[in-house]
A and B are shown apart, each in its own frame.
Chain A
Amino acid sequence: MIKSLFLFNLRENKILIIAFSLIGTLYATVSIGMYDPSSAEALEAMLDLLPEAMIRMMGFDQIGGDITHYVSNYLYGFIMLLFPVIFSIMLGTKLVSKYVDQGSMTYLLTMPYTRRKIVITQAVFFALSLFVIIFFNVLVIIVMSESMFPGSLDIWKFIMLNLVTYAVHLALFGLTFLCSVLFSDSSKSLGVSGGILISFFILNMLSSISEQTEFLKYFTPFTLIDIEHILASGGNGVLGFIFTLITAIAIFIVSIEIFHRKSIII
């Protein structure tokens, strides 16, 4: 970790981080504001107006019930999958590939640090900014539901859900980072990593449409964010979390080593 490079990244990307945190918290605020335990039926009636396949695609089919189920399904079936993915693609491309493309990486690499140190700083910076975005979202949801409906949110299960979500996004970011390290052309990096991540996202949506498409869930890591399973068993999410986290770290280590060994030619 290089402190001055970390601060440099922060300066360069603070608007992106703040924007994504705000969008997330805004969405969370609205969704909790809309929750009314007595009118769950009214909500279901409203959802009945929409085509069933669309509701499932958005992950709204389990939206009834207590606030934990409501918030989890409302946000973690769609919004909290899509926003961090877009964030990953944007930031991941920027942190390595764009700097190589622009020539600033050549310059940074003439500073007295190993390449590993420089690229680890970039990876840690991303992992932390993703954490900040999800953390703000969790904080807003917990504070709001505790003040509006004290004691009704199952905080530990909800946090568990977020840990798994974070780990999955971290692994997906690892893929963006890998592309960023592999391609010295930033538009290529953006295209390939965007293609992979958006495909995962679309596969996840398609897999929930009907029984015929359900098998698609084996081809997307978003399946690991199994809301019902995590909310039902709570602690059982730990295993998935650890497994995903290890995968993410492995992808990062591979990326760091590739960057250490590659020729920086532009």
Chain B
Amino acid sequence: MIEIKNLTQIYASKKGIFDVSFTVKKGEVFGYLGPNGAGKTTTIRGILGQMNINEGYIRINDLDPRVDIVKINKLIGYLPGEMAFFDHYTGKQFLDFICKMRKLEDFSKRENLNEMFELDTKGLIKKMSKGMKQKLGIVAAFMHDPDILILDEPTSGLDPLMQNKFLELILSEKKKGKTILMSSHIFEEVERVCDRAGIIKEGRMIAIEDFSEKEKKVADIYLITLKKPNDKLLSSGLDVIKKNDTVYQISVKDNYKEFLKTLSTYDVIHIDHKKQSIEDIFMTYYGGHQHD
């Protein structure tokens, strides 16, 4: 279990995190959402016991990371935001080194993960692509089967297929009762695997959302292109905004049946699913109110 209360850490640049509080319960997957530079990595540094926090309280299984780091590190698997080191090691040498550092003797999970992510560990890390390094980091974080996983933007650099595999891995670890904290700036992946998510902006936690609630709050947004302009669509009862001559934006929550029925009567030539930025989501959540 990870507990953070009133955590404040201000850098010389006046940036940082301010009065952040949240709890990740045992067996829970908690998403930590926010744009780049919002303070996600700073919070993670605090959890890892690497900084002397200005104010607040951090506990992992009731242990203080600044005091009981050895006990905590035995429980934790950590994936850094960027794997920019151990350059002239091969993937295998790097994993061997981490296994030795952790005194790990059971390599079965490591091998399973290698296979799952189709990881080629023969090459030098220096020459690996960002995605390959990311996969290597994932294997290193999970291979000792830790109870708690701290993952800093785990899907960045992965192709969609591997992102999917990773999210499946998260779900299967969750089933085993692992406690997982994953930061991200992609709402969809967090919504898919997390039980709850904290949304952080400019160092402040602005909301903690519970995804297990039945009602879907965030609409899917589609851009529909018609062959000819037809403004009748605007009065169809759906949530439609005209984008330009032939392009209409439609927000759909759980009314897909109506959405499909309506569209079938129009001359649609293209449908595009619009990925939403976190800012868009804030707007949908809070109707454009400014939250401080």
Q: Which residues of A contact B (CB under 8 A)?
A: 2, 4-5, 8, 99, 102-104, 106-115, 261-265
Contacts and interface: CB of A to CB of B under 8 A. Distances in A.
A115 B100 contact: no
A5 B69 contact: no
B187 interface: no
25 contacts: A2-B101, A5-B101, A99-B85, A102-B85, A103-B80, A103-B85, A106-B50, A106-B80, A107-B78, A107-B80, A109-B69, A110-B76, A111-B98, A112-B70, A112-B74, A112-B101, A112-B102, A113-B101, A114-B69, A114-B70, A115-B69, A263-B50, A263-B51, A264-B50, A265-B50
Contacts of A5: 101
Nearest to A261: B52
Contacts of B49: 109
A265 B51 contact: yes
B231 interface: no
Contacts of B102: 111-112
Given A264-B45, A265-B51, A4 B100 contact: yes
B260 interface: no
A115 B67 CA distance: 11
A103 B52 CA distance: 18
B114 interface: no
Contacts of B85: 99, 102-104, 107
Contacts of B71: 112
Contacts of B58: none
Contacts of A106: 45, 48, 50, 80
Contacts of B80: 103, 106-107
| 6 residue pairs, one from A and one from B, having the closest CB atoms | A104-B85, A263-B51, A4-B100, A112-B73, A264-B50, A110-B78
B90 to A, nearest CB: 12
B285 interface: no
A186 to B, nearest CB: 13
Contacts of A115: 69
Interface of B: 11, 45, 48-52, 69-71, 73-74, 76, 78, 80, 82, 84-86, 97-98, 100-102
A111 B73 contact: yes
Contacts of A112: 70-71, 73-74, 101-102
Contacts of B101: 2, 4-5, 108, 111-113
A44 to B, nearest CB: 50
A202 to B, nearest CB: 34
B97 A265 contact: no
A4 B52 contact: no
A265 B70 contact: no
A264 B48 CA distance: 10
B70 A104 contact: no
Given A4-B97, A103-B82, A110 B52 contact: no
A265 B45 CA distance: 8
B47 to A, nearest CB: 10
A109 B86 CA distance: 15
Contacts of A261: 52
A7 to B, nearest CB: 8
A5 B100 CA distance: 9
Contact of A109 (B50, B98, B100): B50
A262 B45 CA distance: 13
A112 B98 CA distance: 11
Contacts of B82: 103
Nearest to A115: B69
